[in-house]
Amino acid sequence: MAFKLLVEKTDPSEFEYIIEEKNAQSGERLYIKGPYMMASEVNKNKRVYDLDSMITEVARYEKEMIKTDRAMGELNHPTTADVDLERACHIVTEMKQDGNIFYGKSKVLNTPTGQIVKSLVLDGVRVGMSSRALGKIDQEGDSEVGLVTEMKLVAIDCVADPSYSDAFVNGILESKQWILNRKGEFEEHYDRFEESLKGLPRTDVNDYLTDKIMSFIKNI
């Protein structure tokens, strides 16, 4: 089973904005605090995350990303399973568990997208945080609820438009698949094939597909 890229939004009204003045040189810094992720309950996307698995994954993320000052997130969700540094707007500084909720705190960066976030907040626009993770979705029978397993947290992104359609975002992301290569890295399986087709003249597409199918059959 391939991995899917999953995004889970939270309610922007539950977030707190803190302005801290460090010193005359660094000026004011904006921090955002609130609930970043939830486990053991069915969310708005009809998915539920196993609590033990999320605890393990958050511990990994904290050790590898937060404590090494690499836990950056983007403004709104990209359709990739990595973080584009040119779009980074905040960095997660802490994440703590309280029951089945994981609360986080982020420092807004002095980057172009970070300045957008700061301007929005200072002008009264409420923004929230949304997790972006790879995972496998198990659904039993006719159940509408999917159990997310083998979760790998990619980033916590800042979502400036809470009215943005969750169904639309998830429809795009879940049409793609990621697989683990031999190096233990995630590869975007769907897009690589799609890009190969886009680069071909329309008359060559059928020949390309035929060649790939025959190559696959020979390697079975």
Task: Tell me which of 19-33, 112-126, 167-181, 203-217 is least confident.
Answer: 167-181
Indicate the SS3 state at residue 57: helix
More confident residue, 68 or 138: 68
Q: What confidence tier does 170 reach under pLDDT thresholds 50, 70, 90? A: very low
Residue at token pair 């020949």: 207
More confident residue, 193 or 34: 34
Q: What confidence tier does 216 reach under pLDDT thresholds 50, 70, 90? A: low
Q: What confidence tier does 140 reach under pLDDT thresholds 50, 70, 90? A: confident
pLDDT of residue 208: 54
Catalytic residue (choose from 90, 130, 196, 215) = 130
Give 31: exposed, middle or buried? Use CB within 10 Å, 0-12, 13-18, 19+. middle
pLDDT of residue 220: 52
pLDDT of residue 119: 93
Identify whether the C-beta of residue 155 lies closer than 8 Å to the C-beta of residue 121: no
Q: What confidence tier does 11 reach under pLDDT thresholds 50, 70, 90? A: confident
Catalytic residue (choose from 13, 77, 90, 175) = 77
Amino acid at 125: V
pLDDT of residue 123: 93
pLDDT of residue 215: 63
Residue 77 designated active-site: yes
Residue 130 designated active-site: yes
Closest to 158 measured CA to CA, from 76, 70, 36? 76
Average pLDDT over residues 49-60: 95
pLDDT digits over 69-91, tens only?
999 999 988 888 999 999 999 99
Average pLDDT over residues 91-117: 96
Q: Would the pLDDT of 166 be above 50?
A: no
Number of H helices, E strands in the chain: 5, 11
d(CA 36, CA 128) in angstroms, rounded, equals: 9
What percent of the chain stands above pLDDT 70? Answer: 70
What percent of the chain stands above pLDDT 90? Answer: 50
Average pLDDT over residues 12-23: 85
